Chain A
Amino acid sequence: MDQYLNTADSDWFKQRLTGILFCVVGAFVLLAARLFYLQILEGEEFRRLSENNCIRLQSIDAPRGLIFDRNSKLLVDNRPAFNLSIVPMDAKPVEATLKKIARYSNVGETEMISKFPLTKISRSYNPVLLQPDIGRDTLAAMEVHGFDLPGVLINVTPCREYIYKKSVSHLLGYLGQISISELRSDKYSGCRTGEFVGKFGVEKSCEMFLRGKRGGRQVEVNAKGQVIKVMKTVAARPGHNIFLTIDERLQQLAETLLNGMTGSVAAMDPRTGEVLAMASNPAFDPNDFVTGLSHEKWNALTNDSLRPMENKVTQAGYPPASTYKIITAMAGLEEGVIDDKTSFFCSGQLRFGDRVFRCWNKYGHGKVSVVKALAESCDVFFYQVGLNLGIERLAWYAKACGLGKSTGIALSNENKGLVPTTMWKKKRIGRPWYRGETLSVAIGQGYNVVTPLQMLVLTSAVANGGELYRPLIIKKIVSADGNIIEKARSHVTGRLPVSKKNMELIRKGLWEVVNGRRGTARAVKLKTLEFSGKTGTAQVVGRKKNDAADGSEDAEDPVKPHAWFVAYAPSVDPVIAIVVMIEHGEHGSSTAAPIAGKLIDAYLGGAENGAGLMTGDFPAAENNQGRILPGGA
């Protein structure tokens, strides 16, 4: 019975539906009332605001993060730039306005009008950029005649300024307009067409830190498009500041020493993997890129036979030449092919099959042990070692020393180099390996390709007792208000496959290179401190196109060899490792080694200049950072 009484029947549903009906009517009355308020009561005011699309959004560009060196010296700054834009719908009539602008900014009328696809955007309320970064004179003219120029917009945006111009340019990189593929990727979310983003170097690899967040403001404009009221503003968030591991003074010195030569110099702290200097010559000026590079300039840069756009430290591959003998010695010692007492006789050449392999010293080195062979760079000794090792074992050691793969530096387009093996040759060239080729590989010639950076990492590893570090270029990333976003940590990517005892032998050989009586780099020996190194002179085959550019001098000696020098200092407990690579510099000992010597002298405090860059300065530098950036240290 109770169940029956509780059953919902039609009448009950009708009653519920009536309730719902009233709710619906109530809701629609609310909508109608709001409509009445907006359209009838406030309609007049809204009609006025709509007349010229008065309420607009203007974007505020975020300043990119600044870039400092390791001692908080500013390398990349932002300066204000004045961009001239026009809002087509405000600038009525557009053509007349453009002609006026042309007159005030000293640009030809036709050129100004041709820049501007009238038919396509003439109905747009979005500003169209006419001229970026106008000079002071144009700015003044525009300001004075502002009343006469409807729809003309001058906005101030932060613009990149590379303080030391060409200096550090390969590491810092440059900006360019965002590409279509970049616009589509998630990494560049929030970017707009025409925006400038990092295209090379740190500007590219740290793009996501350097780029801030765009702000904007709601404004009310009059019929001429001039702002009469700022309603709301959202400030732009500046990008994060980046502190490089580079020591700008060392960098400057390296660049000065490289002046007039084609090649590169890099220095690293072997205890941490921090890159202290990275110079590549010739260089480009990143300031030329900030508002877009002209076609001719770009072509001139990319077609230059000296490749100014290339970071020769990370992107250029060369045969390692005699610097490779460190690896051959290591492999020979570890594999038991030689030991500290093994000696070979060098007569100035080695006959193998029907070929004669010469030593660089045609008079021969006589009886040579491994230490002497490194010190005097005896080719015959290493021919023998290579022959006994065979290409596969040699290649295994080369790879274990970090060759043939990228070092992991935070720069794009790193050259991986090449460690030749039997398999590689079969695949690439389709021929079997000849034993004679092993001899060339053993002295760093043949198919071997390395980058100066790879040799620097290897030299650092020899210096620090065997740890291969990933090269660090960023010391820390700090937000604009001083919070540390990221702090770099040293990362060991591998260990040299060498025992302590054999390592000591190699280090002794490298010490004798500079300090020995007959060492190949004895000329650059320093009075104040002892350092170790290895010279290299890389034979180059057929790079004929350089000849014409270099003129008649090279005619008799068409292709000069590349000059290498790797070094670390001091010989005991080293604090700096250096690589110098001079293209067509002839001899490692005469061209490359002096540069390394001068850098070491300057860095560690030579007799002449009293205190070097390093002594006493580093702790002070740490304090500097704390002072400049409160809360940052």
Chain B
Amino acid sequence: MFDRRLAENFDWVLLGITLALGMLGLIILYSAVTAGIPDPQKTLCIKQLIWYCTGLVAILIIIMFNYKLLDQWAYAIYAGGIVLLILVMFFGRYVAGSRRWLAIGPVSVQPSEMMKIGLIIALAHYYSKNVNIRGLTFRELFIPGLLVMLPFGLIVKQPDLGTAILLALIAGAMTVFVKIERRSFICIICFFIAIIPMVWFFLKGYQKQRILTFLNPDRDPLGAGYHIIQSKIAIGSGMLWGKGFLSGTQNALSFLPEQHTDFIFSVLAEEWGFVGAMALLLVFLLLIFWGLNVAIRCRDPFGIILSVGMTAMIFWQVFVNICMVMGLMPVVGVPLPFISYGGSSVMTIMICVGILMNVSMRRFMFE
């Protein structure tokens, strides 16, 4: 069933951007785990490289199959994700007070990462059947609402507020894209405004404290508040040209927390300055534009909405992560795509790129 047109339509630009970001990621990671640290964990770079390579293989496998299969299997994939989330509730490994990891053989996976993709596929499936130009009504939004609330609740329970919020943001972006009927839109807004004080009323004292600290890191000057200050110092001290590769000083020991995962952007901004940080932002912007371009060129509603969902996922992760390290948003555990260390995060992004590539390659099938 191999079609010559598939090869002709291979998306070299998307592959190029992916490889560029991967390479950049490794370089920054190397600096993050070595500069100024007494016991460098250089093996993390090797591990990350292995994850990238596995991701590339995953892309290769994904582009072999027609993405239409995802349409058919949408709810099954979604259900698989939910099952994994339920499993992690019972058999998950505790790390720092939360259960996010599931050990499958020698590797640990984070089902909440995989759930993002499952949710995007399920929503794309539903919206492609129901989309119309007058917008979705309140009743038509009932099922998508359920589709989001279920994994959202399970992930909040882990607890992993960052990933849960990300899930809601992605779903929100997709829903706004397919348009909500005006009256229903107002209803939904009113509903949320009404429910927030009620939820607040039912929360216990310590839960309220946690949310307040989350919204305002200054309440926790020894934890999140301190991390934000150090992150801002690191970014700001980079100035225009940066301090140079491996010359970051804030990186040392506890001054930058999680410098190789969530706060890796600070390492980049410190060492490469405004110029380097802007360059990375532009590459991300290019990737997002390209994702939207894939959607524009696609002729099939499912393909369009799927691409928009995948692009929204990349966008929100970039936006929320960079806002967080620059002190514009609460500290949530959202990794920076391609750059942050972490197998599950890399794999999710690679699968996401694979699906975009898949849609991009098969656009001719509708011409």
Q: Which residues of B contact A232 (CB under 8 A)?
A: 218, 221, 225
Q: Are B322 and A16 in contact (CB under 8 A)?
A: no
Q: Are B234 and A20 in contact (CB under 8 A)?
A: no
Q: Which residues of A contact B235 (CB under 8 A)?
A: 35, 38-39, 46
Q: How far is the CA of A45 from the CA of B232 in the complex (A)?
A: 11
Given A32-B278, A34-B328, A46-B233, also A21-B295 (CB < 8 A) = no
Q: Are B253 and A45 in contact (CB under 8 A)?
A: no
Q: Which residues of B contact A36 (CB under 8 A)?
A: 274
Closest Cβ of chain B to A216, distance in Å, is 4
Instruction: Say which one of A76-84, A116-124, A433-441 lies at the interface with B.
Output: A116-124
Q: Does B91 lie at the interface of the complex (its beta carbon under 8 Å from any beta carbon of A)?
A: no
Q: Are A31 and B322 in contact (CB under 8 A)?
A: yes
Q: How far is the CA of A30 from the CA of B328 in the complex (A)?
A: 10
Q: Are A124 and B253 in contact (CB under 8 A)?
A: yes
Q: Does A234 lie at the interface of the complex (its beta carbon under 8 Å from any beta carbon of B)?
A: yes
Q: Are B133 and A231 in contact (CB under 8 A)?
A: no
Instruction: Say which one of A50-58, A142-150, A402-410, A602-610 lies at the interface with B.
Output: A50-58
Given A6-B134, A35-B278, also A28-B285 (CB < 8 A) = yes
Q: Are B131 and A8 in contact (CB under 8 A)?
A: yes
Question: Which of A32, A51, A125, A234 is close to B252, meaning CB atoms less than 8 Å apart?
Answer: A125
Q: Does B83 lie at the interface of the complex (its beta carbon under 8 Å from any beta carbon of A)?
A: no
A-B pairs with beta carbons under 8 A, tally: 146
Q: Are B237 and A47 in contact (CB under 8 A)?
A: yes
Q: Which residues of A contact B304 (CB under 8 A)?
A: 13
Q: Does A291 lie at the interface of the complex (its beta carbon under 8 Å from any beta carbon of B)?
A: no
Q: Which residues of B contact A124 (CB under 8 A)?
A: 38, 253
Q: Does A27 lie at the interface of the complex (its beta carbon under 8 Å from any beta carbon of B)?
A: yes
> 0/1 per residue, A37-81, Cβ < 8 Å to B?
011101111110111010101000000000000000000000000
Q: Are A35 and B222 in contact (CB under 8 A)?
A: no
Docked complex: B33-82 residues within 8 A CB-CB of A: 36, 38
Q: Are A43 and B285 in contact (CB under 8 A)?
A: no
Question: Which of A27, A42, A51, A57 is close to B222, meaning CB atoms less than 8 Å apart?
Answer: A57
Closest Cβ of chain A to B113, distance in Å, is 22
Q: Which residues of A contact B236 (CB under 8 A)?
A: 38-39, 42-43, 45-47, 50
Closest Cβ of chain A to B132, distance in Å, is 4
Q: How far is the CA of A217 from the CA of B295 in the complex (A)?
A: 51
Closest Cβ of chain B to A502, distance in Å, is 55
Given A36-B274, A39-B273, A46-B233, also A21-B221 (CB < 8 A) = no
Docked complex: A110-133 residues within 8 A CB-CB of B: 120-121, 123-126
Given A39-B273, A123-B252, also A49-B299 (CB < 8 A) = no
Q: Which residues of A contact B163 (CB under 8 A)?
A: none
Q: Are A31 and B323 in contact (CB under 8 A)?
A: yes
Which of A27, A38, A57, A125 has most chain B Cβ within 10 Å? A38
Chain A residues with a Cβ closer than 8 Å to the other chain, count: 51
Q: Which residues of A contact B178 (CB under 8 A)?
A: 8, 16
Chain A residue at minimal CB-CB distance from B293: A17
Q: How far is the CA of A21 from the CA of B328 in the complex (A)?
A: 22
Q: Does A552 lie at the interface of the complex (its beta carbon under 8 Å from any beta carbon of B)?
A: no
Q: Are B277 and A35 in contact (CB under 8 A)?
A: yes
Q: Which residues of B contact A13 (CB under 8 A)?
A: 295-296, 301, 304
Q: Does B240 lie at the interface of the complex (its beta carbon under 8 Å from any beta carbon of A)?
A: yes
Q: Which residues of B contact A57 (CB under 8 A)?
A: 222, 226, 254
> 0/1 per residue, A187-217, Cβ < 8 Å to B?
0000000000000000000000000000111
A-B contact pairs, 27 of them (CB 8 A): A13-B304, A16-B177, A17-B177, A20-B292, A20-B308, A28-B285, A30-B328, A32-B278, A32-B281, A34-B326, A40-B239, A40-B274, A45-B236, A46-B237, A47-B236, A47-B237, A49-B233, A50-B270, A53-B250, A53-B255, A55-B233, A125-B254, A125-B255, A216-B222, A218-B222, A233-B221, A234-B222
Task: List the interface of chain A (C-beta within 8 A of B).
Answer: 5-8, 10, 12-14, 16-17, 20-21, 24-25, 27-28, 30-32, 34-36, 38-40, 42-47, 49-51, 53, 55, 57, 120-121, 123-126, 215-218, 231-234
10 smallest beta-carbon distances between A and B, as pairs: A46-B236, A50-B237, A232-B221, A43-B239, A6-B132, A39-B274, A38-B236, A47-B237, A216-B222, A46-B237
New contact pairs (17) apart from A31-B319, A31-B326, A47-B237, CB-CB < 8 Å: A7-B133, A8-B133, A10-B299, A20-B173, A34-B323, A35-B269, A35-B281, A39-B238, A39-B269, A39-B277, A40-B274, A46-B233, A49-B237, A53-B250, A124-B38, A218-B229, A232-B225
